[in-house]
Chains A and B, each alone.
Chain A
Amino acid sequence: GAVVSQHPSRVICKSGTSVKIECRSLDFQATTMFWYRQFPKQSLMLMATSNEGSKATYEQGVEKDKFLINHASLTLSTLTVTSAHPEDSSFYICSAAGTGTHPYGYTFGSGTRLTVV
């Protein structure tokens, strides 16, 4: 079945530095990638949607200059948290749709726990 590999699973970084999170589709072409943020015991909140080769569409309230999304190929999308601060600490999950995925649902990565100290 369709698999999305997300790395790293955990990362700790210092305040002011940048962190890159990668999501790779292993056996399908991810034409669309969704990036979510999840706080403890809360639901998934959509941050942005990206289509391969196009600029990402950000949800209201999400800073596009802080959360840089690149979807330059059909198998790789990245989320870079720039100048991270403690309030950016959260769980980030990607979800992909494309050829080879389930026709109705989307395939999720395993998530990245970001801690900014």
Chain B
Amino acid sequence: AQTVTQSQPEMSVQEAETVTLSCTYDTSESDYYLFWYKQPPSRQMILVIRQEAYKQQNATENRFSVNFQKAAKSFSLKISDSQLGDAAMYFCAYRGLVGSARQLTFGSGTQLTVLP
């Protein structure tokens, strides 16, 4: 079974600074998807960024970028120029391609605080 580990329960960053959230995962599959979701106090799950495992290039979405290290099974999220609105719980998630592996497996989450 796939597992996703987020070793940082809480992180804080100064507004306008950069922060990196860590995520590691375990799988025997060669192709899969990885995601970072944001859950603000409203508790609505918001997709921040996704990465296809077959792509070597790291995904980027505006101020959000990932460092995907397939061999190390590592998938960190970098938030640049942090804003107050970035404060939320961030979940790393894994998704396989076939059958029951298509379900999302979430990490335990990292609570990000942005300090003014």
Indicate which residue in B50, B100, B103, B107 contacts A104 across the interface (CB closer than 8 Å). B50
B68 at the interface (CB under 8 A from A): no
CB proximity of A111 to chain B, nearest CB, Å:
5
Residue in B42, B43, B50, B108 whose beta carbon sits within 8 Å of that of A43 in the complex: B108
Query: Which residues in B have their C-beta under 8 angstroms from that of A95?
Result: 45, 104
B2-38 vs A: 1/0 string, CB under 8 Å?
0000000000000000000000000000000101000
Asked whether A49 lies within 8 Å of B45 as measured between CB atoms, the reply is no
Known: A108-B45, A111-B43. A97 touches B106 (CB 8 A): no
Could you give, for residues 86-111 of chain B, a 1 whenever the CB lies within 8 Å of some chain A CB and a 0 otherwise? 00010100010000101111111101
Q: In the complex, A113 Cα to B52 Cα: how many Å?
A: 33
Question: Measured between alpha carbons, how far is A98 from B47 in the docked complex, in Å?
Answer: 17
A102 and B45 CA atoms in complex are apart in Å by 14
Across the interface, name the chain B residue whose C-beta is closest to A97: B102
Flag whether B62 is at the interface (Cβ < 8 A): no
Closest chain-B Cβ to A59's Cβ sits at a distance in Å of 9
A49 (CB) vs chain B CBs: closest residue: B103
Given contacts A43-B108, A43-B109, contact A102 B103 (CB under 8 A): no
Closest to B33 in A: A104
Q: Are A91 and B43 in contact (CB under 8 A)?
A: yes
On chain A, the residues within 8 Å of B56 by CB distance are none
B residues contacting A by CB (< 8 A) are 33, 35, 42-45, 47, 50, 52, 89, 91, 95, 100, 102-109, 111
Interchain residue pairs A-B with the least CB separation, the first 3: A108-B45, A43-B106, A43-B108
Given A105-B47, A110-B42, 13 further pairs, Cβ under 8 A: A32-B102, A38-B43, A41-B111, A43-B106, A43-B109, A44-B45, A44-B106, A46-B105, A57-B100, A91-B43, A104-B35, A105-B35, A105-B95
